[in-house]
Structure 1
Amino acid sequence: MKEQNSLKARVKKKFYVYDDEEVAARSVKSKHFITKVMFFAAVAWPRYDHTRKTFFDGKIGVWPFVEVVAAKQTSRNRPKGAPVTMPQNVNSDVYKSFVLDKVVPAIC
């Protein structure tokens, strides 16, 4: 199991898009306003599963530490009460719930 911090958007990044697609507008006033999100990744040793007669690649899953909350106030992008994805503070209780609620069912 591994934790990794990641940014939701980068200030300078190249995008490859098709001719019929529009480039998503991702602009921020400063690097300070880019939201950091922590991810939880679970991996195992790759091995052959004799009961299923298949090869297990070792990838179990990747989950972000985020929570969906209602917006506290209206902005020009969304009304008050709209669901907003926010980074979650990670402590031992949150970490334990992730392992029990997401990793263990993915293994079984």
Structure 2
Amino acid sequence: MSFCVSVIRPSYVRHTLVTRPSHVRHTSVIRPSYACHTSVIRPSYVLHTSVTRHTSVTRPSYVRHTSVTRPSYVRHTSVTRPSYVRHTSVTRPSYVRHTLVTRPSHVRHTSITRP
């Protein structure tokens, strides 16, 4: 595609030597500038995606946090349980303790002492 850059005749030479009409001359002899740029030099967004891949070379912050260092909500669940989980497993809250350890009066009457 080097002919886009090298073979560019000035307008007065092109008019004198080439006798094609203007719309044919532009299409066949010299490609417009946007066509040269796409084939010879890639635009910046294409170069950034192909040369330096952010996903493979350097992981973004949200991926690095999940794999290397767990975020706070994951660390709390696995290493140290949050308060609502600790209450349920280690020390039962009052409504659970009442139901399991000491039965309320209506349950005790029905199960232990029959009317």
TM-score normalised according to structure 2 size: 0.16
Task: Tell me which structure has the larger Cα radius of gyration.
Answer: 2
Greater strand content: 1
Greater helix content: 2
Q: Which has the higher contact order (CA 8 A, sep 6+)?
A: 1
TM-score normalised according to structure 1 size: 0.17
